[in-house]
Amino acid sequence: MSTTSSVSTGCFVFKPDIKKKKKSFPSLDDYFTHGCEGAETSDIRFRLFHDLWNKIKTDTEHLQDELNRQILDSLLDFTRKCSSTRQHDDWASQMRASEIPTAALMLGVNVPDHDMTFQSLSELLQQSVTPHVASVQAKECAALKHLMKRVLERLMHTVVVAAAADDDDDDDDDEEKEEAALKQSVTPVHKSVHCSLSVLCEWYNTQTKKSNTPGKKRSSQSKDQHPPVVIIFKDLEAFNQKVLQDFILICSRYIERLPLMFIFGIATSPSTIQHMLPHSVSSLLCIELFQSLSCTQHLATVMDKLILTSKFPFKLTGKVMQVLISLFLYHDFSVRNFIKGVQMALLEHFHSQPLSVLCCKKKEALRNAVHLSHEGLERIRQLPSFTRYVDKQESQEQVGLLKDDAHLQEVCQKLIKDLHKYHKNYYPTLRCLHALTSSLPRYPLGKQIRELHLICLEKNVWETEDYQSAMKLLKMLAKDELIALLQRCAEILRSANSKKMKSALVQLEDMLSKFKQLDGGSEVVQCDEESLTSPVKNLQKKTDLYQLQKALLEMNESRRTKKRSPFENLRSEALEFIDNLVKSHLYLPECQTLNEVCYYSSSSSVRCHLNATPRTSIQAALSSPYYYLLNESLKTDDGSISNAAPDICIAYKLHLECGRLINLYDWMQAFSTVVSAAEGNDPNSDNFGKVDDVKHARFIRAVSEMEFLGFIKSTKQKTDHVARLTWGGC
């Protein structure tokens, strides 16, 4: 048969057409070409986006590898140590024979980032320790037979058939078997085997004999005679406790025949193992704890290396940055999702901003500015930052900027150079200010550099009260503390690639040399402290209120008139230097002309794409089905629902007209009336709006779907009513 008339008459399997081509989807290039403003530069913008994102992606992956290197190296050393102990027959001296070496890997709650870590771990294990590595997740191991099957399949690279006694496999498992059988009919695979650890032991012995055959050259992967068999549990907390316990008990019986090792991926706390496994099971494991860097440390490093640098011309405004950081801190703690948010902003910027053709390295940006068309120059004239720039010019210059395209191209090149200089000076100055203030009490300008960066993006930082408080605290630092902070600033300026930063470094190094030359400053300070404390000693004597007031006035007067020490003078000079540096280079990006070329500012678009609101989307779909189904019969002018709409849309619209409790009978009668009108029945007939079996079934299904979506629920107040859970609609 080539077709089936009913799903209840039988089950038919059709072999897939291997030659059939995959469905083609619109490419990213088409996204830039069609429906894109400034289509004349869409090709250039797409190339710039692609090149820039590839650089960011490469640097991000390299950075993630560097951050995970320490924890991954520790895990590799652990597996090598356990394997080496077994090889030298001193396993019993290290641990009991029934104990399975287990690494408890603490990864934190940033679950979306774990896949990348486990993938790197698996690759490193296969490259340098053992070829026998299997990773499993809880969602695919609901029962012990499923867990055993997944482990054997991924270790043996073959199709595993469950034991004959397991006849109660669920439908999903049957479908997987059918898919495996189908794959066998299309592509030849290894012979199917039964699901048991004894089969795995036999397979392992065969593999080790092959690799240890005399005269056969061994690879670096198989240099151990008996490499360990590593099983990685990616999400330990999500595993069924009974399944995990039974699996560990079974594995412990084979530990003398099979060099098993476990790696537990834990997101919460090490105590999870104690809560999930009783002592009789956990005592079979020799557990060693490994702690990875926190997700906030990962984010701080990513921000420092990828965002707060002039290396990449693309920038984010304060509001967009705040949205991305808020999503990170209050949703998933995922650095991976944070980087995806940056990618989305990058894509939107190059797609929606035609002048993003200038968002590239300085030489290429200057070249693109020369080739700007008249339409592109008109877009520059419409930029808010350029309008402010024109208003500050003389009348003759204003006419040239607004009328002469050649003159505007020359000015644009100068403004682009100024924009790149601004970024080269901004980030070193930001790092210097953070180095000085990040260790102050109560962190007036934030503990993390991203907090200071957000302040600088929103307002002039030197005009804030927190900045004034920080400067007052800096004026109270001792000589050694201040010198140490200034030396950190000198290191930052030393790595900067800017003429102004080099000039600032010369001044700062001159001040540091003066600090080191201060020898007699301590004696002056000591002398001043003695003159200051003399009124304090007088206060310790028995005195009346008049004498107390007189002594306090003398203390205030002495503080005003005392001679400042050389250290205090030099400290004031150093802080004044820092203050001038901040005021010269940390002004708002909005004040920089042509900042719109590099800065993406649509925070609402970022929030809409990344911070999903499923309830709002569902309500919009149920209220306006035409915009989702594109069926002309559903189109209405007054915002009402067409009687030809899907049943759930009709039920949803009717429930909006009800109060907190909805009478099911009245609701069904109204539903039947609307459906009858959609069927074209005569409103004056006796059967119009009458509930038959079909309408009743359709209504029950629509109500069940609404209950599943969370719009209504059953209530014990009235048995023939349901309670409404939402208010309002789209």
With left for phi above 0 and alpha for psi between -120 and 50, is residue 594 left, alpha or beta?
left
Of 261, 293, 325, which residue sits at a domain end? 293
pLDDT at 412 over 90: yes
pLDDT > 70: percent of the chain: 78
Specify the amino acid at residue 435.
A
Identify the band that residue 204 occupies on the pLDDT scale cut at 50, 70 and 90: very high
Tell me how far apart the alpha carbons of residues 311 and 301 are, in angstroms, rounded to a whole number.
15
pTM of this structure: 0.76
The arithmetic mean of pLDDT across residues 110-139, rounded, is: 91
pLDDT at 88 over 80: no
What pLDDT is attached to residue 224? 59
Of 293, 315, 330, which residue sits at a domain end? 293
The arithmetic mean of pLDDT across residues 520-548, rounded, is: 51
Q: Report DSSP state, residue 95.
A: S
Identify the band that residue 193 occupies on the pLDDT scale cut at 50, 70 and 90: low
The arithmetic mean of pLDDT across residues 471-493, rounded, is: 93
Tell me how far apart the alpha carbons of residues 691 and 673 are, in angstroms, rounded to a whole number.
9
Q: Pick 700 or 171 by higher pLDDT.
A: 700
Closest CA to 474 of 402, 562, 621, 578: 578
Which domain CATH number covers 691?
Answer: 1.10.10
pLDDT at 215 over 60: no
pLDDT at 5 over 80: no
- Cβ–Cβ under 8 Å, residues 558 and 529: no
The arithmetic mean of pLDDT across residues 33-45, rounded, is: 74
pLDDT > 90: percent of the chain: 53
- Cβ–Cβ under 8 Å, residues 211 and 222: yes
pLDDT at 246 over 90: yes
Tally of domains within the chain = 2
What pLDDT is attached to residue 33? 63
The tens digit of pLDDT for each residue in 497-517 reads 899 999 999 999 999 999 988
Identify the band that residue 126 occupies on the pLDDT scale cut at 50, 70 and 90: very high
The arithmetic mean of pLDDT across residues 510-535, rounded, is: 61
Q: Pick 83 or 79 by higher pLDDT.
A: 79
Tell me how far apart the alpha carbons of residues 586 and 460 are, in angstroms, rounded to a whole number.
7
Identify the band that residue 560 occupies on the pLDDT scale cut at 50, 70 and 90: low
pLDDT at 704 over 60: yes
- Cβ–Cβ under 8 Å, residues 326 and 610: no
Mean pLDDT score of the chain: 82
Q: Pick 659 or 86 by higher pLDDT.
A: 659
Does 411 reside within a domain? no
What pLDDT is attached to residue 211? 67
- Cβ–Cβ under 8 Å, residues 722 and 712: yes
Which domain CATH number covers 182?
Answer: 3.40.50.300
Does 87 reside within a domain? yes
Identify the band that residue 222 occupies on the pLDDT scale cut at 50, 70 and 90: very low
What pLDDT is attached to residue 229? 94
With left for phi above 0 and alpha for psi between -120 and 50, is residue 333 left, alpha or beta?
left
Of 272, 293, 314, which residue sits at a domain end? 293
What pLDDT is attached to residue 97? 58
Does 693 reside within a domain? yes
- Structural Rg of the chain based on CA atoms: 36
The tens digit of pLDDT for each residue in 713-725 reads 988 888 889 999 8
26-30, 169-173, 367-371, range with the lowest pLDDT: 169-173
The arithmetic mean of pLDDT across residues 286-295, rounded, is: 91
What pLDDT is attached to residue 143? 92
Range of the domain at 116: 68-209+223-293
Closest CA to 116 of 156, 57, 74, 157: 57
- Residue in the structure block whose two tokens are 């995959």: 22
pLDDT at 374 over 80: yes
Does 137 reside within a domain? yes
Does 117 reside within a domain? yes
Tell me how far apart the alpha carbons of residues 462 and 120 are, in angstroms, rounded to a whole number.
45
pLDDT at 255 over 60: yes
pLDDT at 518 over 90: no
What pLDDT is attached to residue 405? 93
